[in-house]
């Protein structure tokens, strides 16, 4: 896939699932203000992906939050197996530490086969973290804190998301992606 197709699929997921289903009540504000940076990695191996992550961590840390508040680093072909992707997240956390960005930037993970521990693969709750491609979401902790402070009962978001997805069901999820 070319970068335009990867970015288009990611934007569709953001618009229809993340924002459209209100899975993240904070996403719409930064998305409509074009403060979401979407980067496609072309790394041939994990070391290259880590180098791309290093660049994006440095970029986000240096950028004005008014210009770029968050970054999605996507690799459409590397780490297709969720367990391998999940293991890779240890290296991602180490990179955040190496850049001395603990407490400044955190990384959320999304994957087409995302599965929470203790769930079945087809459990609808897993879809809260399912994206079209393996994706690392770099977030400013200060932005998260501001958003959570402005959102009543932010701790209920995860449970509400699971309820939303369970009501939607597999057919409803698939229906989000049908072209009219």
Assigned domain for 143 exists: yes
pLDDT at 152: 73
Give the pLDDT means over successive 10-residue stretches in the chain (180 positions).
95 96 91 97 97 98 96 97 97 98 97 96 95 97 86 82 94 86
Q: How many domains does the chain have?
A: 1
Helix, strand, or coil (residue 113): coil
What is the reported pTM?
0.94
pLDDT at 148: 80
pLDDT at 180: 59
Please give the Cα distance from 16 to 19 (Å, whole number): 6
Please give the Cα distance from 60 to 41 (Å, whole number): 16
Residue 120's domain spans which residues? 3-173
Please give the Cα distance from 144 to 108 (Å, whole number): 12
Assigned domain for 32 exists: yes
Residue 109's beta-bridge partner residues? 136
Assigned domain for 179 exists: no
pLDDT at 26: 87
Please give, one letter per residue, the 3-state secondary structure of 125-165: HHHHHCCCCCEEEEEEHHHHHHHHHHCCCHHHHHHHHHHHH
pLDDT at 179: 73
């Amino acid at each position: 896939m070319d970068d335009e197709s990867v970015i288009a699929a990611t934007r569709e997921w953001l618009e229809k699932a993340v924002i459209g289903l209100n899975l993240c009540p904070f996403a719409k504000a930064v998305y409509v203000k074009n403060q979401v940076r979407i980067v496609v990695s072309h790394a041939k191996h994990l070391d290259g992906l880590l180098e791309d992550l290093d660049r994006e961590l440095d970029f986000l840390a240096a950028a004005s939050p008014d210009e770029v508040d968050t970054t999605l680093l996507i690799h459409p072909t590397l780490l297709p197996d969720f367990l391998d992707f999940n293991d890779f997240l240890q290296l991602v956390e180490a990179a955040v530490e190496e850049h001395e960005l603990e407490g400044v930037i955190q990384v959320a993970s999304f994957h087409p086969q995302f599965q929470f521990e203790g769930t079945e693969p087809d459990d609808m709750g897993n879809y809260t973290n399912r994206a079209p491609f393996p994706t690392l979401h770099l977030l400013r902790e200060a932005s998260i804190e501001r958003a959570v402070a402005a959102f009543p009962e932010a701790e209920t978001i995860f449970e509400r998301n699971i309820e939303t997805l369970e009501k939607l069901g597999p057919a409803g999820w698939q229906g989000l992606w049908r072209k009219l």
